Structure 1
């Protein structure tokens, strides 16, 4: 199987954006879903999120009700205080962090609330679940800043 190069991956990802869109539209969902768990694991054997943390530096997860309850309890804040201090409502009506980078991201790229992080963070970059296919625009956006998404898409496209 072809080895995926990770040097200069951002440029290659941008160059392949149209191919990703076409692939995601036409992909055999069952075949792809079968391959995702192994490709996800393979990607994270090669990629260390702590080297990058671009997701935490540039984007915000949605903070859903269970996340709000769990995180505010962990921080020993009332939910309202937690929301007022850290979050805002976005155009979709979801709670997101007020500013980037995420206030819980340390200089060492470690998350200070990792054990109780939002479910969106826990699931990101969705390379082992059907979101990869169900939300192709999100997948393409994620491929532009996440080496793991780039890696998985490249691997999926090398085998028809």
Structure 2
């Protein structure tokens, strides 16, 4: 997968994607949640995140207290020690990684804490959400990071005949 080529296409399509997603918000089709789920499954049958891992390389998830406790326990650390070693407080007062790429990303693009990874990582790129139009801003950002999110928006436009 050529990330630069994909990113160029994603930037070129930003206005078109925004217009489409804004339209969904104004007048969501009755079958939208069904189409979203079908399209999500279709996209992830073809796209293998392990070929890319751009999300883990370029963006850091928000860590909730539950995430911190679960991961610290898994690593046999005290939550406070985990926070000191790996996290920082960002401008929105959220707990995020100190550095990117993610410390837990292995050379083969697998996650060393996959079974206990943060909720934000489990849900990313949020292409299987109900009422997808509630996260238009986030989806727009994700299309620039994640080839699957970009492909999802492209296909949902086609699947809804836009």
TM-score after normalising by structure 2: 0.90
Which residue in the other structure is 1:54 paired with? 54
Report whether the alignment pairs 1:15 with 2:48.
Answer: no
1:8 aligned counterpart, secondary structure: helix
Which residue in the other structure is 2:76 paired with? 76
Matches within 5 A, 1:1-160: 8-27=5-24, 28=28, 30-130=30-130, 132-158=132-158, 159-160=161-162
Distance 2:6 2:77 in 1: 41
Which residue in the other structure is 1:3 paired with? none
Q: What CA deviation, in whole Å up to 9, does each residue of 1:2-56 have, x standing for no partner?
A: xxxx993322211110011111111115433221111111111111101110000
Gap regions ≥5 residues in structure 2: none
Summarize the Cα distance change of 1:104–1:7 in structure 2 as closer, same or farther, 3 Å threshold.
closer
C-alpha contact (below 8 Å) 2:32/2:131 kept by paired residues? no
Summarize the Cα distance change of 1:16–1:60 in structure 2 as closer, same or farther, 3 Å threshold.
same
Q: What CA deviation, in whole Å up to 9, does each residue of 1:96-148 have, x standing for no partner?
A: 00010000001110100000000000010000004742121211111012111
Distance 2:132 2:90 in 1: 23
Distance 1:118 1:82 in 2: 13
Q: Which runs of 4+ in 1 moved over 4 A?
A: none
Gap regions ≥5 residues in structure 1: 1-5
CA RMSD in angstroms, aligned pairs only = 1.7
